[in-house]
């Protein structure tokens, strides 16, 4: 399932501008170049809706696909805007801001996108 979600994310990125990768166990990091916070939220919402509407094949404990059995998943997202030319410390702050926004999405009912409001 993680691989399929990764494929959805990768397929949603602009080829020469954006980057998607696995950041942790079940976490992904998306970098949307030259995109402000509000526009990023709209992009991420489209991705979230695509994931929510995808029927993922169910697998057994050995990893074999169970025929005609599917599951649906939802994802929560946090978004932070980072100004161009930021140094490494500021990038770390942006990732922390996105992480805070992610936890706000989870605390407010999950399956949503939250924009970190503080300036970075």
> What is the rounded distance in angstroms from the CA atom of residue 30 to the CA atom of residue 33?
10
Q: How far is CA 73 from CA 32, 76, 93, in A?
A: 23, 10, 29
Catalytic residue among 26, 38, 52, 118: 26
Active site residue 26: yes
Q: Are 8 and 51 in contact (CB under 8 A)?
A: yes
Q: Are 81 and 120 in contact (CB under 8 A)?
A: yes
Report the catalytic residues.
Answer: 26
């Amino acid at each position: 399932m993680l691989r399929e979600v990764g494929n959805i994310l990768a397929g949603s990125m602009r080829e020469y501008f954006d980057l998607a990768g696995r950041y942790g166990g079940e976490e992904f990091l998306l970098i949307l170049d030259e995109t402000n916070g509000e526009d990023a939220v709209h992009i991420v919402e489209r991705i979230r809706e695509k994931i929510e509407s995808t029927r993922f094949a169910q697998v057994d404990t050995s990893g074999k696909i169970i025929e005609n059995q599917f599951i649906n998943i939802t994802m929560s997202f946090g978004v932070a805007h980072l100004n161009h030319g930021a140094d490494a410390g500021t990038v770390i702050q942006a990732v922390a801001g996105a992480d805070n926004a992610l936890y706000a999405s989870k605390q407010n009912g999950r399956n949503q996108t939250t924009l970190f409001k503080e300036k970075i």
